[in-house]
Amino acid sequence: MSPSFKSIKVGDAPAPLVCGPLTRTQFVRYAGASHDFNPNHHDEVYAQASGNKAVFGMGMLAGGFCARLLTDWLGDGSLRQLRIRFQSRFWPGDVLTCTARVTAKRESDAGALVDCEFSAVNQTGEVIIRGDATAAVPP
């Protein structure tokens, strides 16, 4: 059950979503599903020749994890805006923890809106992506 405008408070946060340990197979699966065929994400030989220790995950894959956290929390179809900033790379074996929190609530012509910030961090606490989102919630 997604929260109502009345019940939700600034600072509220959903239970974190933990993804991983991530595998090369997941990167390849996302490449096929998303059409992101940058070889740095699936071709270890190419990625290493380009100076990377291994293939690395797509920022939009981490973005997909965080979008799921938000829709599970605030409701399917609730998002009005989503912005993802790519901060750092992530690698096979990494575990990403996605968190979010309410930063503001406001009423507008578009209805009752909740602003949030979110991030995905790896097992050492390094920020992989961060972003902000706006969702419409029931009154």
Partner 1 sequence: MDLNATGKTFPPYEFHVERGKIREFADAIGDPNPIYRDPAYAETTPSRGIMAPPTLLRTFLYEPKAAAEALQVKDWSYIVHGEQEFEYFAPVRAGDVLTAQDRIVSVSEKESRRAGKLQIAVIETLFHNQNGEKVQVARRTLVETGKRISE
Residues binding partner 1 (CB under 8 A): 19, 26, 29-30, 32-37, 50-51, 59-61, 63-65, 67-68, 70-72, 76-77, 79-86, 89
By C-beta, is 9 or 84 nearer to partner 1?
84
- Report residue 86 as tokens: 């790519």
Coil, helix or strand for 78? coil
Q: How far is the CB of 13 from partner 1 (least distance, A)?
A: 19
Burial (CB count <10 Å: 0-12, 13-18, 19+), residue 58: buried
Q: How far is the CB of 52 from partner 1 (least distance, A)?
A: 8
- Cα 132 from Cα 95, distance rounded (Å): 21
By C-beta, is 9 or 83 nearer to partner 1?
83
* Residue 12 CA from chain centroid, whole number: 17
- Cα 13 from Cα 79, distance rounded (Å): 16
Q: How far is the CB of 14 from partner 1 (least distance, A)?
A: 14
One-letter amino acid of 56 = F
By C-beta, is 8 or 61 nearer to partner 1?
61
Q: How far is the CB of 51 from partner 1 (least distance, A)?
A: 7
Please give the DSSP secondary-structure letter assigned to residue 10.
Answer: T
By C-beta, is 9 or 79 nearer to partner 1?
79
